[in-house]
Amino acid sequence: MATASSFAAWRTCITCRFSRRSRRRRPLFKASRLYVRNPCGFGACRHTTTRLNTLATRLIVNADDYGLTEGVSEGIRRAHLDGILTTTTAMMNMPSVMADLKLGRELCPNLGFGVHLVLTQGKPVRPPEKVPTLVRRDGRFYSVLQIIEAVEGMNPVELRDEWRAQIERFLETGIPIDHIDSHHHVVMRNEHTLRVALDLASEYGVAIRNPFIRPELESVASALLAQYGVLTTDRIELTFYDSGATRQRLLECIDNLQPDIVTELMCHPGYADAELIRISAYHRPRETELALLTDPEIKARIRERGIELVRFRDLASVNRAASESPAG
């Protein structure tokens, strides 16, 4: 699966916003304007940031699938309390998710909680008869393999209503929403799913996972980000998964971080309880991920490199501060 690393070098001047590249995109994450000094290379640009001496390497470590099972949620909380995890996203259609979120709020007050939009697991939050194009005859969502064809026939109004219902159910907990991403990357399935997700992110004023995962949707994603003005990261690291969930790979991810780039590391820690083994093929590797995310060597490398572990909403605050800073 492709990552968004090819976009990492692109920046925009804090004042004039000239682009270094010929294609004039908005910043992938507006907070990146903090770090740029004369990035565009055009003679007309003589601007510099006043915060050039406060370079920071920022990393978001996000766990997908909170609420999938009690064991997964417990493992995610452990990865935060004893490890480097900073955010997680909840599957709001899962049976245990509300109780898991209550525990998460009590035990992990500094963990950022967002919404893991679901279209390929379990039942919808809305009554199945209200979203008939999203579900099979048994009232359940299509599988990750079935969705490839089924998504083309889905009603975008039904999709928006279902995903809004998932977000609203999350908000019932009273937990501030950190950001939005999706189960099995279904948001990036096509232009219509991405448009619905960005529309909702804009409506609720939250960031979204970097959508530059599928090369064929690159230009569409760029245009839609500009249209909706939604924040995202410069990069997303997807390789820490399954056979890639190794100490060596995680250390490489950490060592490759750059001070002028905001990166999200996607992960799937958890405990492989009986329910997870029943419903998911990805179960034992979650315990491997959990062990690595709490590994003393990994935490030491983070400290040695001076990496700032942050949440999506932290960077939104940084962006506002950067926008208010004078440039000369």
Beta bridge mates, 62: 87, 266
The angle formed by the CA atoms of residues 79, 100 and 318, to the nearest 5 degrees, is 55
Q: For 122, left (φ over 0), alpha (ψ -120 to 50), or beta? A: left
pLDDT at residue 60 tops 50: yes
Interacting residues of 267 by C-beta distance below 8 A, sequence separation 6+: 61, 62, 63, 64, 79, 85, 240, 241, 245, 289, 293
Q: For the chain, give the percent of residues with pLDDT over 70.
A: 79
Interacting residues of 49 by C-beta distance below 8 A, sequence separation 6+: 14, 33, 34, 35, 36, 37, 322, 325, 327
Q: 324 pLDDT band (50/70/90 cuts)? A: low
Residue-wise pLDDT tens digits, 169-181: 999 999 999 999 9
Q: Averaged over 146-169, what is the pLDDT?
A: 97
pTM: 0.82
Task: Choose which CATH entry (3.90.180.10, 3.40.50.150, 3.40.630.10, 3.20.20.370) describes domain 24-37+55-323.
Answer: 3.20.20.370
Residue-wise pLDDT tens digits, 221-280: 999 999 999 999 999 999 999 999 999 999 999 999 998 889 999 999 999 999 999 999
The angle formed by the CA atoms of residues 235, 236 and 241, to the nearest 5 degrees, is 155
| Helix boundaries (H) for the chain | 70-81, 97-107, 147-150, 156-171, 191-204, 218-228, 247-255, 274-279, 284-293, 296-304, 312-324
Measure the CA–CA gap between 68 and 92, rounded to whole angstroms: 9
Ordered by start, the domain boundaries in the chain are: 24-37+55-323
Residue-wise pLDDT tens digits, 124-142: 999 999 999 999 999 999 9
In 3D space, the residue among 196, 66, 219, 212 whose CA is nearest the CA of residue 133 turns out to be 196
Q: 315 pLDDT band (50/70/90 cuts)? A: confident
Q: Averaged over 59-84, what is the pLDDT?
A: 99
* Eight-state DSSP code of residue 25: P
Lowest-confidence segment of 150-154, 169-173, 184-188, 259-263 by average pLDDT: 259-263
pLDDT at residue 49 tops 50: no
First-last CA distance in the chain: 41
Q: Averaged over 152-178, what is the pLDDT?
A: 98
Q: What is the pLDDT of residue 314?
A: 86
Q: Averaged over 168-196, what is the pLDDT?
A: 97
* Eight-state DSSP code of residue 208: E
The DSSP-derived string for 87-103 is: EEEE-TTSTTHHHHHHH
Joined tokens for residue 222: 């760029």
Q: Averaged over 63-83, what is the pLDDT?
A: 99
The DSSP-derived string for 131-197 is: SGGGB-TTSSBPPTTTHHHHGGG--HHHHHHHHHHHHHHHHTTTPPEEEEEEGGGGGGSSHHHHHHH
Q: Who has greater pLDDT, 282 or 8?
A: 282
pLDDT at residue 23 tops 70: no
Q: What is the pLDDT of residue 103?
A: 98
Residues 22/27/33/35 CA torsion (nearest 10 deg):
-70
pLDDT at residue 42 tops 90: no
